[in-house]
Structure 1
Amino acid sequence: MKSIHISLVALMSFTSLMAQTYITNTTIVDVENQKLIPNQTVTITDDLISNIQSNKKVKLPENAIIVDGTGKYLIPGLTDAHIHFFQNGGLYTRPDVIDLRDYSSYETEIELAKKDMEQKLLRYLKQGITNVIDVGANFNFLEQRNYIVKEDGLPSVFMTGPLLTTYQPKVYENLGNDKPFILTTTIEDGINGVRQQLPYKTDFIKIWYIAGADGLSVEASARKNLPIVKAIIDEAHKNNLKVAVHATQRITAQLAVENGADFLVHHIDDEILNDDFVKLMKKNKTIMIPTLIVSSGYNNTFAQTLSFSAHELQHADPYQLGSLLDLKHLSDTTLVNNYKNRSIAQSARNKTSDSIAMANTKILADAGVLLATGTDAGNIGTLHASSYLAELQAMQQSGMSTWQILTASTLNGAKILDKQHEFGTVSTGKKANLVLLNANPVENIDNIINIDRVINNGVVIEPEELLKDSPADLAQRQLNAYNLRDIDAFLEPYAEDVEIYIFPDQLRAKGKEAMRAMYTPMFANTPNLHCELVNRIVQGNTVIDQESVQVGSQVVEAIAVYHIEDGKIKKVYFIQ
């Protein structure tokens, strides 16, 4: 997505706010005091909330821009407090976890991540996420961030540079300014690692506190590397930078907090937390980002047990989502089967870890420890923007209340970098980063995606205008749903009166219901059903896919020609 596209969207799709904007007769969701305030009118001047008062007291100027909030709920803009722009969320994004460079070069993946940054941000904004925190980037992304933040039509971006770590996977060596890690094996390395990031105006520092990779026990390894961790934290604080720490074991988390870590970017999944740890977190005012869904993204991808909600199938990057299903057809079956068997064998351990993480999230939330919502998006199986709802649902499954989740997703996200005076609540004087919902999110957290308008930097946005499906997007979305055997998601990109032909003119079916009758039994009864996209040609509103389709024990080679009209697939021709 090129910058010129952003400018066109800003000119054509956003409501100009040269005058004041009034959101009238709405219910404000007060996350700070955990209450609903009905019948309110919010005035926006430029990019700030300039006034909030009862609807009865407001006299609207004749030329005012008015957004009718009747029956709707106004929440602060959401924050995803843990993402990674250098990772795309698909199968090929972490060669240190599964090395598939024989199928797709990592250099190609890096270039795609840089090229796709603006489109990722539009996906976030479409979901009401007006602030993102990249908890581990690189020097190139820091430079890219510095000019992207000037775009009014995009979410705010806060970013660290490369992760400071005592362990670096070999695949990430020799990447220059694309490297996501700085190896710190001495105290001097740690201090220099902080100083290297200062010229790039990093928003904070991140430590990857990996214990046990050196062959020692977890605790022995953690204590061995503690002087380096402490030196990094001290140097960052000297330069007025907060420090985030990746620490998933209780001992690494405890040592990090004791030595000044400002926020922990993952849950703890190796033991149930005791009162002493909880008191430590509260005393030090350390924030935790649970990231409850990221491990399941890996496990379900490798075990080939993926399933997606209708929301993700419609709003995720369709190409990254589709890549997660590629294990069904990669030629290295030994590698694929090893990962599949390993993931299945680890399922019992994974369930235990997930249960501990859920229990610890509840313990911390109930004790009043500040929790912030973050997805760890960009990792394999955790897709940018569309995974946010699944994270909220996981937080609810842990026992957090909807108010706790809403606060974690707004105000607490702002508190991570001391931005709570700028955004995070619907309050006079704060930035007009808001989301107008069609239903009450306190009653049902799923209503967070039932969005009427997004207000970003005072600009009122129709979310559906932010990113429209291209013809190739529609073809890819129906292909993804086909491979997942999801009949409703499969039919969604098609027009109600779609026509299906055997080339050149043999009509096989007309209308969605006829397609439903044709494909439902196929999805239910066909073993080993999988379609591999071999090649794709896009010409205007026509998409031509060369496909290799596994049907039971047979492989069928086919050409599918999709004709798109008015944003839906209108006609399909199959050539066999």
Structure 2
Amino acid sequence: MTFAFTTTSARYSALLSALCFCFGATFFQLPAQARELPKTLLKPTTALAFVGAKVLLTEQAHLNAELQPATVLVKDGYIVELLAASQTIPAHYQQVDVSGQYLLPGLIDAHVHLAQSGSAFTRPDMIEATAIQPYTDDQQWLHDHLPELLSTYLSLGVTTVVDMGGPAARLRRYASLSQQTGLPEIVAAAALLSPTSVPQLTAADGNTFQEVTSPKSASEAVRQQIQQGAAIVKIVWSQETGLSDAQLTTLYQDAINTAKAAGKIVAVHVESLTSAKQAMRAGVDILVHGVVSENIDAEFITLARQHQVSYLPTLTAYQHYADIFSGKLSFTEFEHQLSHHPLIQSFTTLNANPAKTGELYQIFRRYMRYVDAPAAKLAELSADEQSIVAQLGQVFSVNIAKIQQQNLQLALQSGLNVAFGTDAGNPGTLHATSIREEMRTWQQAGVSNAVILRAMTLGNAVALKLDHKQGRISAGQQATFILLQHNPLQENFQFSPPLMVVQRGHIVKL
């Protein structure tokens, strides 16, 4: 989320600049359903035949997905073959009856932040509330309970999560957790590269943002992240950093080339149309958040095709920030049932202690109610106050939400590879359970369930260059898939926990 903030008053000149990177007093306790990690029922060396399901087929050449009855043969952690329902199953395969169920590739959330909890106190650069709960408490909870948090993802059928930036020191642990059955695979970036620092997000083990001030320092940072095991290099490309698109190109070009030469994905945090075009010319692979301030055009589509860039919108995280600043944030029954309750409770604590919050947050709370207000209402404000409201509107107006949804449709209609992510971990965007609301928002934008599921599976796999092993139910793919009770292509479908998760050939008990 990019946002500059200027008024004639010097003390306000940088207050809203923290928004350019968006999108913990007691320790949290876990809900009962998240305390016990999933266990496996069968070893991956077992030859298994999953019989009786309708299989969701995602094809490289189509944006849609379709269901087809088939038997899925699995051995040594991989899919061996798909048999027609009428074909004979080889005798050495142990049959698993999944009659009447719907078999899908494992879901991927291509944009999460494992260095953020989703609580009111996880982004002190955005919500200055460390007098209520220190940032160190939030980070300690994440360290202590990360396996349980990840297990919630898997229990919802999310078998891969993509961490889009955090302290590099955590990469080794993520790699270890990825190998544990019952937890999703983690594909991770190290710290976000940015021309400006965000000191409020400094944890004991490192920074979420890494400041780079020259082409040399940017390239050196990329080489260091590669050595540390990062699969993705994420950069912040925004004129609100104080640099023009030309200057940002100069800053990042060698770093982008270095990352791509090493086979790494380059994801860019960009929001304006002009900046997105320039970032694509520079060679980035994924547009994180998509374009939010104006509609994409023919030149954008041509560049995305030419450079094989994936479009990764995040629709709900922006609205969650708007709801927090408006005092209107609420959670669904689904989130109450499956999320960590103290995370939800943290917003009640925040709202009960406004005097302990910082000036930035209090300004947001004071002026968000004027965004999209009629002219007569705005006339009650001073010129400085109207400037504040205007700049808040550049991010939080209902028109911005409409542009995001329109751009999603335009990207799909143009045949671009569209990926799916939630930006989970940001305040109010809860880990794992946020996928349901993101799916609902895509549906409200007029996107069919077939297209949404294609984005959550093959679309994400293509974006991450994992489509050789994930994203499809076909021979040679990892045997990582989920089984649902209800037809996911029906118009009234609402996502709910799967009946079964199969992970690299393991049947996981939920």
Tell me whether the two structures share a fold, i.e. TM-score over 0.5.
yes
Unaligned runs of 5+ in 1: 215-219, 464-576
2:150 paired residue among 112, 117, 121: 121
Q: Distance in 1 between matches of 2:354 and 2:407?
A: 41
Structure 2: which amino acid aligns with 1:339?
Answer: F
Partner of 2:114: helix, strand, or coil? coil
Q: CA deviation at 1:342?
A: 2.6
1:344 maps to 369
1:146 maps to 175
Structure 2: which amino acid aligns with 1:427?
Answer: S
Which protein has greater RCO, CA pairs closer than 8 Å, 6+ apart? 2
Q: Distance in 1 between matches of 2:113 and 2:497?
A: 25
Q: Distance in 1 between matches of 2:65 and 2:113?
A: 33
2:415 maps to 368
340-349 vs 150-159, greater mean Cα deviation: 340-349
Q: Distance in 1 between matches of 2:158 and 2:174?
A: 17
1:401 maps to 448
Would you say 1:49 and 2:79 are equivalent positions? yes
2:296 maps to 273
Structure 1 segment 137-286 matched on structure 2, within 5 A: 137-172=166-201, 175=203, 177-214=205-242, 221-286=244-309
Q: CA deviation at 1:154?
A: 1.4
Change (3 A) 1:388 1:8: closer
Structure 1 segment 373-388 matched on structure 2, within 5 A: 373-388=420-435
1:28 maps to 55
Structure 2: which amino acid aligns with 1:170?
Answer: P
Q: Distance in 2 between matches of 1:66 and 1:309?
A: 38
Structure 1: which amino acid aligns with 2:460?
Answer: G
Q: For residues 433-466 of structure 1, give each alpha carbon's deviation from its aligned partner in whole angstroms, at most 9, with x where no partner exists.
A: 1111111111137443252211111112233xxx
Q: Distance in 1 between matches of 2:254 and 2:449?
A: 39
Is the CA contact (8 Å cut-off) linking 1:41 and 1:52 kept in structure 2?
Answer: yes
Is the CA contact (8 Å cut-off) linking 2:123 and 2:201 kept in structure 1?
Answer: no
Q: Distance in 2 between matches of 1:311 and 1:250?
A: 35
Q: Distance in 1 between matches of 2:230 and 2:325?
A: 34
Q: Distance in 2 between matches of 1:191 and 1:441?
A: 44
Would you say 1:428 and 2:428 are equivalent positions? no
Change (3 A) 1:445 1:363: farther
Is the CA contact (8 Å cut-off) linking 1:246 and 1:265 kept in structure 2?
Answer: yes
Q: Distance in 1 between matches of 2:255 and 2:65?
A: 41
Q: Distance in 2 between matches of 1:52 and 1:462?
A: 24
Would you say 1:411 and 2:458 are equivalent positions? yes
Q: Distance in 1 between matches of 2:351 and 2:460?
A: 38
Q: CA deviation at 1:115?
A: 2.0
Unaligned runs of 5+ in 2: 1-28, 374-392
Identity, in percent, stands at 26
Q: Distance in 1 between matches of 2:136 and 2:497?
A: 38
Structure 2: which amino acid aligns with 1:403?
Answer: A
Change (3 A) 1:448 1:304: same
Structure 1: which amino acid aligns with 2:80?
Answer: S
Q: CA deviation at 1:345?
A: 2.4
Partner of 1:79: helix, strand, or coil? strand
1:448 maps to 495
1:306 maps to 329
Is the CA contact (8 Å cut-off) linking 1:435 and 1:453 kept in structure 2?
Answer: yes
Change (3 A) 1:352 1:339: same
Partner of 1:248: helix, strand, or coil? coil
Q: CA deviation at 1:170?
A: 3.1
1:59 maps to 89
Taking structure 2 as the reference length, what is the TM-score of the superposition? 0.84
Q: Distance in 1 between matches of 2:36 and 2:204?
A: 34
Q: For residues 283-311 of structure 1, give each alpha carbon's deviation from its aligned partner in whole angstroms, at most 9, with x where no partner exists.
A: 11100110111111111122121222221
Is the CA contact (8 Å cut-off) linking 2:65 and 2:453 kept in structure 1?
Answer: no
Is the CA contact (8 Å cut-off) linking 2:128 and 2:357 kept in structure 1?
Answer: no
Taking structure 1 as the reference length, what is the TM-score of the superposition? 0.74
1:490 maps to none
Partner of 1:74: helix, strand, or coil? strand
Q: Distance in 1 between matches of 2:492 and 2:226?
A: 39
Q: Distance in 2 between matches of 1:450 and 1:199?
A: 37
Q: CA deviation at 1:61?
A: 4.0
1:40 maps to 70
Mark the structure with the bigger radius of gyration: 1
User: Higher strand share goes to which structure?
Assistant: 1
Q: For residues 263-285 of structure 1, give each alpha carbon's deviation from its aligned partner in whole angstroms, at most 9, with x where no partner exists.
A: 11112111111111111111111
Q: CA deviation at 1:320?
A: 1.1
Is the CA contact (8 Å cut-off) linking 1:440 and 1:447 kept in structure 2?
Answer: no
The CA RMSD measured in Å over matched residues stands at: 2.4
Is the CA contact (8 Å cut-off) linking 2:65 and 2:451 kept in structure 1?
Answer: no
Q: Distance in 2 between matches of 1:113 and 1:25?
A: 40
Q: Distance in 2 between matches of 1:73 and 1:367?
A: 29
2:104 maps to 75
Is the CA contact (8 Å cut-off) linking 1:41 and 1:58 kept in structure 2?
Answer: no
Change (3 A) 1:267 1:7: closer
Is the CA contact (8 Å cut-off) linking 2:55 and 2:104 kept in structure 1?
Answer: yes
Q: Distance in 2 between matches of 1:434 and 1:389?
A: 18
Would you say 1:438 and 2:475 are equivalent positions? no
1:460 maps to 507
Q: Distance in 1 between matches of 2:350 and 2:208?
A: 26
Structure 2: which amino acid aligns with 1:148?
Answer: L
Partner of 1:121: helix, strand, or coil? helix
Is the CA contact (8 Å cut-off) linking 2:163 and 2:189 kept in structure 1?
Answer: yes
Q: Distance in 2 between matches of 1:128 and 1:445?
A: 19
Q: CA deviation at 1:232?
A: 1.7
Q: Distance in 2 between matches of 1:402 and 1:225?
A: 38
Q: CA deviation at 1:399?
A: 2.3
Is the CA contact (8 Å cut-off) linking 2:43 and 2:505 kept in structure 1?
Answer: no
Change (3 A) 1:322 1:61: farther
Is the CA contact (8 Å cut-off) linking 1:304 and 1:327 kept in structure 2?
Answer: no
Is the CA contact (8 Å cut-off) linking 2:287 and 2:310 kept in structure 1?
Answer: yes
Is the CA contact (8 Å cut-off) linking 1:43 and 1:52 kept in structure 2?
Answer: yes
Partner of 2:52: helix, strand, or coil? strand
Q: CA deviation at 1:324?
A: 2.1
Is the CA contact (8 Å cut-off) linking 1:25 and 1:38 kept in structure 2?
Answer: no
Q: Distance in 2 between matches of 1:313 and 1:10?
A: 21
Q: CA deviation at 1:133?
A: 0.7
Structure 1 segment 6-21 matched on structure 2, within 5 A: 9=37, 14-21=41-48
